Amino acid sequence: MMSPIAADMDAVNAVIRRQLHSEVPLVNQIAEYIISAGGKRLRPVLVLLMARACGYAGAKHHELAAVIEFIHTATLLHDDVVDESSLRRGRQTANALFGNAASVLVGDFLYSRAFQMMVAVDNARVMQIVADATNVIAEGEVLQLLNMHNPDVSEENYLQVIRSKTAKLFEAAAQLGVLIAGADDAAIEAAGEYGRSLGTAFQLIDDVLDYSGNASDIGKNVGDDLREGKPTLPLIYLMSHGTPAQRELVRSCIENGDEQHFDEILAAITSSGALDYTRREAEKAAQRAAAAIADLPNSQFKDSLLQLSVFAVDRNH
């Protein structure tokens, strides 16, 4: 799936290493720690695949892919502080290791470095897409904060959080790839739909895995969402379709961030069909993503984008 852009990814990693440098040692240490944790690098991959699928032969997509990765990494640093998380990608979070203050401030460094790099590309539409995306992501973070410990969050409201907090950066990444290749507005919009839908599918499967995955596979503690009082789609579905006793249990657990009843919640989610429903919604989103790029010319890069839409749903991490 990634082999067509292996050389591009090597170039992006070189940009990341070069741009991470700071005269402040702690910035280097924390940034290196979080970046070296790896991850799927899906957002920069979208920049690269979209650019190549549109016939781009330059090198600016490497810089833009690194910009997207820096913004994503900054959001992770801030998220883990807000969520008081201790584990990400199978390792201690930066805030657990270095403290909350250092994590927030290095997240700020990564944001500002991303904007320095973006300005250097010298394309007003690039700046507009990235600036809008970071603002929407921030709104999504606040919206999720308002939803914490609220058992009455609707499915529509939750999907809005996903579109803002998660899918927006996927959308921006895909759009930057086709934009730098000189594509027209229709192609940019189609790429945005692909990214939005792919990001939605990924988040919904993450919701499923939080109740059905293995900690060693997903790289975080199973049940974290419940502990944090996050009303994700499986819980929202159970609140609508469960028995009165199940609904009351979910309400209590969300309001109190109570993971002591995780096994009971998991049994109720499973028996009610909540996980199956969430997975079906993820499959619909993945299908929308595939449909959005139907007009791209056939290529190994388009094939990889289509494979990504399948992987978004058929994964265990």
**pLDDT, tens digit, for every residue of 7-22?**
999 999 999 989 988 9
DSSP for 28-72, written as a single string: HHHHHHHHHT----HHHHHHHHHHHHTT--SSHHHHHHHHHHHHH
For the cut 60, the answer to whether the pLDDT of residue 182 exceeds it is yes
185: left (phi over 0), alpha (psi -120 to 50) or beta: alpha
In this prediction, residues 172-191 reach a mean pLDDT of 97
Classified by CATH at the fold level, domain 3-311 comes out as Farnesyl Diphosphate Synthase (1.10.600)
pLDDT in tens, 145-163: 999 999 999 999 999 999 9
CA distance 244 to 272: 12
In this prediction, residues 292-300 reach a mean pLDDT of 97
For the cut 90, the answer to whether the pLDDT of residue 167 exceeds it is yes
Chain centroid, CA 203 distance in Å: 7
Chain centroid, CA 205 distance in Å: 11
Query: Which residues, in sequence order, are CB contacts of 216 under 8 Å at separation 6+?
Result: 90
Determine the pLDDT at residue 89. 67
Determine the pLDDT at residue 102. 92
In this prediction, residues 207-221 reach a mean pLDDT of 66
Determine the pLDDT at residue 221. 63
Domain boundaries, the chain: 3-311
Determine the pLDDT at residue 218. 43
Determine the pLDDT at residue 234. 94
- C-beta separation of 16 from 35 below 8 A: yes
Q: To which residue do tokens 């006793």 refer?
A: 245
pLDDT in tens, 217-259: 444 466 778 888 889 999 999 999 999 999 999 999 899 887 7
Average pLDDT, the chain: 91
In this prediction, residues 256-285 reach a mean pLDDT of 91
For the cut 80, the answer to whether the pLDDT of residue 74 exceeds it is yes
CA distance 313 to 97: 32
3-class SS at 1?
A: coil
Tokens of 186: 């229709």
Residue 215 confidence class, pLDDT cut points 50, 70, 90: very low
CA distance 6 to 226: 38
For the cut 90, the answer to whether the pLDDT of residue 1 exceeds it is no
Q: Comparing 153-167, 172-186, 201-215, which segment has the lowest mean pLDDT?
A: 201-215
For the cut 90, the answer to whether the pLDDT of residue 210 exceeds it is no
> Other CB atoms closer than 10 Å to residue 28's CB: what's the count?
15
In this structure, which amino acid lies at residue 9?
A: M
- The residue ranking higher by pLDDT, 216 or 64, is 64
For the cut 90, the answer to whether the pLDDT of residue 62 exceeds it is yes
Closest residue by Cα to residue 147 from 139, 136, 134, 158 = 158
Determine the pLDDT at residue 259. 77
